[in-house]
Amino acid sequence: MTEIEYPTTRESSCPFAPAATVREMTRDNPVGKVRIWDGSTPWFITRHADQRALLNDPRLSIDEKRAGYPHMTRARAASAPHHPQLITNTDPPEHTRLRRTVNAPFMVKRVEAQRPRIQEVLDDLIDDMLDGPRPADLVQAIGLPVPTLVITEILGAPYQDHELFQHTSHVLISHESTPEEAAKAGQAIGAYLSELLDRKTAEPGDDVVSEMAARVVAGEMTRPEAITMANAILIAGHETSASMISLGTLALLRNPDQLALLRDNSDDPKFVANAVEELLRYLTIVHSGIRRIADADIELHGTVIRAGDGVIFDLAAANWDDAEFPEADRLDLRRPARRHHAFGYGVHQCLGQSLARVELQVAYGTLYRRIPTLALAVPFEEVPFAMEGVAYGLKSLPVTW
Amino acid sequence: MRIEFDEPKCVAAGQCAMVAPGVFDQRDDDGVAIVLDATPGPERFDEVREAAAVCPAAAIRLVEA
Ligand code: HEM
Ligand code: SF4
């Protein structure tokens, strides 16, 4: 059998849907294989039930330093041996220990306390957009600035640095930047965070970097770990939330009945919260598969995954698995969607998920209520998607009102 | 219904506290879950079952009578 190349390209007829070949595998070939950039053929798990079982199975490891680990890209494979121990490359019990050292600022109640501030940020950005020219690019006006401002505050970067911070991080994550520009921005952010760590060691505040600085002083974390972690939070929390805000808006504009439903229920927090879960499910922006390596032989549907084999979990496939979500290709803001895998599943499930939820609840709950006439300023077919990368998104979203 | 919580497994994602706030909370210093009510009343069964189902670390086990 010839394996499909992975990540696969989506059909342009529906850019929101996982590739048809992937959906076929969910139906007919639940323990299949795909071919990745280095020619290797890791196992490919697409069913919701199988992902739930395996992503919590201690026989699967996220240790990216092991031979046979199915790396995302050549660059990742090259840098993996040099990474310090992080939550993103360790298994329990080490993972549990590390994750608990960085978790406090992302707790539900800490994040809920940020909600009024996030609302303020969003209202200001909407005011600015409405005062500016039409059409506007929603990615630049709302999508990117919301997570930038939120993460800047969570990390504890002082307000006067926020322009620099915003500019540098945009270059870093923008699909339009060259690799050289991105590398330069990466170094600038690294230097900035290192200096921020020093400042927060001397004068701690109520923020993530101060918390990590205290842990460095207490010997619970090394300095490079703290800087790498701050950087990881910045990157992981940025593009993802930005994509969700812009793509979610586009998906709603394509489904006007659902947009109307959301607009009419904007003041019902329960409705908005479920709408966020459904958009997370429907869009599943982390679309290049999360990766693990088998520690021991694992039997699944009569097939044996051998110790040392790579395994890829396609989250979008599980979220479009009709066995779990009937008529999965329909965006249905009323369906129970909370068990989606958009944030992954198992111990590595997204650290920032509560924060992302609040950002998206505020964004979706506010945007269409305040701009009820929001409309695309170009034909749908001309909206430029950014499909490369770990998460997919939009290069721009021209809107008018 | 009795809740059995396997604390060493908890990755402090707080899903439980979000879904069933009266039954679970998170410890202030690291976010590890705290069971506020290990034998919740029937009016809470649905949300507690949902909490167990969404817990990404499978740290919540329910012993149903
Ligand atoms: C809608 C927005 C987001 C989506 C869809 C998303 C998605 C994901 C997914 C799928 C994983 C699991 C990776 C794996 O298992 O290999 C993950 C992990 C992670 N995410 Fe997110 N994320 C989002 C927002 C955020 C935010 C706002 C932050 C931080 C501020 C963040 C920080 C992290 C970190 C640090 C991890 C690694 C956790 C671990 O390995 O223990 N993410 N995210
Ligand atoms: S949902 Fe599970 S992992 Fe998350 S805090 Fe609750 S018990 Fe811990």
pLDDT in tens, A124-147: 999 999 999 999 999 999 998 899
How is residue A83 written in tokens?
């990474």
Which domains does chain B carry? 2-63 (3.30.70.20)
Determine the pLDDT at residue A36: 95
Determine the pLDDT at residue A131: 97
Nearest CA to CA, how far is B40 from chain A (Å)?
21
Determine the pLDDT at residue A159: 72
Report DSSP letters for A289-333, one per residue: -EEEEESS-EEETTEEEPTT-EEEE-HHHHHT-TTTSTTTTS--T
Q: Closest chain A residue to B52 measured between Cα atoms?
A: A339
Answer whether B56 sits within 8 Å of A347, measured CB to CB.
Answer: yes
Which of A133-142, A225-234, A377-386 shows the lowest mean pLDDT across its residues?
Answer: A225-234
Pocket of ligand 2 (CB under 6 A): B 10-16, 24, 33, 55-57, 59-60
Determine the pLDDT at residue A174: 63
Q: Closest chain B residue to A351 measured between Cα atoms?
A: B13
Distance A253 CA to ligand 1 centre (A): 26
Which residue in B16, B18, B61 has the most chain A C-beta atoms within 10 A of its own C-beta, making it the best mutation to test that interface? B18
Tell me the mean pLDDT in the region A313-331.
Answer: 97
Selection from A364, A321, A327, A365 nearest residue A345 by Cα? A321
Nearest CA to CA, how far is A53 from chain B (Å)?
10
Tell me the mean pLDDT in the region A9-28.
Answer: 90
Determine the pLDDT at residue B65: 75
Answer whether B14 sits within 8 Å of A101, measured CB to CB.
Answer: no
| Pair B12, B26: CB distance under 8 Å | yes
Which of A9-23, A164-178, A338-352 shows the lowest mean pLDDT across its residues?
Answer: A164-178
Nearest CA to CA, how far is A299 from chain B (Å)?
20
Write down the mean pLDDT value for chain A: 92
Residues 6+ away with beta carbon under 8 Å from A312: A6, A34, A36, A42, A43, A44, A45, A70, A289, A290, A291, A292
Determine the pLDDT at residue A161: 77
Tell me the mean pLDDT in the region A241-264.
Answer: 97
Answer whether B9 sits within 8 Å of A92, measured CB to CB.
Answer: yes
Q: How confident is the model at residue A236 (pLDDT cuts 50, 70, 90)?
A: confident
Which of A34-38, A44-48, A219-223, A338-342 shows the lowest mean pLDDT across its residues?
Answer: A219-223
Nearest CA to CA, how far is A350 from chain B (Å)?
8
Which domains does chain A carry? 4-400 (1.10.630.10)
Answer whether B13 sits within 8 Å of A349, measured CB to CB.
Answer: yes
Residues in chain B: 65
Q: How confident is the model at residue A101 (pLDDT cuts 50, 70, 90)?
A: confident
Which of A148-157, A174-183, A214-223, A271-280 shows the lowest mean pLDDT across its residues?
Answer: A174-183
- Indicate if the alpha-carbon torsion angle A43, A47, A50, A53 is positive or negative: positive
Q: With a 6 A CB cut-off, is A286 part of the ligand 1 pocket?
A: yes
Angle A208-217/A94-102 helices, nearest 10 degrees?
130
Q: pTM score > 0.90 for this model?
A: yes
Determine the pLDDT at residue A130: 97
Determine the pLDDT at residue A391: 87
Percent of chain A with pLDDT over 70: 98
Q: Closest chain A residue to B54 measured between Cα atoms?
A: A339
Q: Report chain B residues touching chain A, CB-CB < 8 A.
A: 8-14, 17-19, 26, 28-32, 50, 53-54, 56-58
Q: How far apart are alpha carbons A244 and A350 in whole angstroms? A: 15
Q: How far apart are alpha carbons A206 and A190 in whole angstroms? A: 21
**Residue among A345, A346, A354 whose CB faces B14 most closely:** A354
Determine the pLDDT at residue A171: 75
Q: How confident is the model at residue A173 (pLDDT cuts 50, 70, 90)?
A: low
CA-nearest residue, atom 1 of ligand 1: A241
Tell me the mean pLDDT in the region A225-235.
Answer: 86
Q: What is the mean pLDDT of each run of 10 residues along chain B (65 residues)?
A: 95 92 92 95 95 94 90
Distance A67 CA to ligand 1 centre (A): 25
Determine the pLDDT at residue A75: 80
Tell me the mean pLDDT in the region A83-112.
Answer: 90
